[in-house]
Amino acid sequence: MILNANNSSSPAVLLDNKFNTYNVESRWNVKESERFQSEIQELTKDIFDIALNIPGVERELALTISQFSYNFQKIIYKAACLDEADFNESRLFIYVDGESGPSGNMMNSPWEQLLSSSQLFSTVKYTLKNDKWKANA
């Protein structure tokens, strides 16, 4: 989650009425978000096909390359949420450490990757308590 006086991307913070927050992702309207999401699938498929046509690239490597490009789109999405103030004003990232289920820790946005070059950026690590998860049968 990224917070300043009023910004967050954390659903828990955004839904809690104790905080006067603004959704950092609100720069995306529904139409833009749908377009971005729909184009990711086509981009991923195109990258897979192109990689597979490179001599010596096997299917597994082409899948890895296309999966990397898919994951990179999540970073691009979050980067598009930032504005100049995010690099020129203090920002605090609360990194949540925990398993968060069978797929591992997927709770944190890539704010550290995007903002770590700013001297006004800080990270605090919070470790979940009672982090016990079971897969649904």
The pLDDT tens digits of the residues spanning 93-131 come to 888 887 765 555 667 888 899 999 999 999 998 887 876
Q: How far apart are CA 120 and CA 135, in angstroms?
A: 39
Residue pLDDT, tens place only, 46-55: 999 999 999 9
- Give the separation between CA 56 and CA 85, rounded to whole angstroms: 46
CB 39 within 8 A of CB 46: no
The SS3 call for residue 34 is helix
Task: Tell me how far apart the alpha carbons of residues 59 and 64 are, in angstroms, rounded to a whole number.
Answer: 9
Residue 1, Cβ density class (10 Å: 0-12 exposed, 13-18 middle, ≥19 buried):
buried
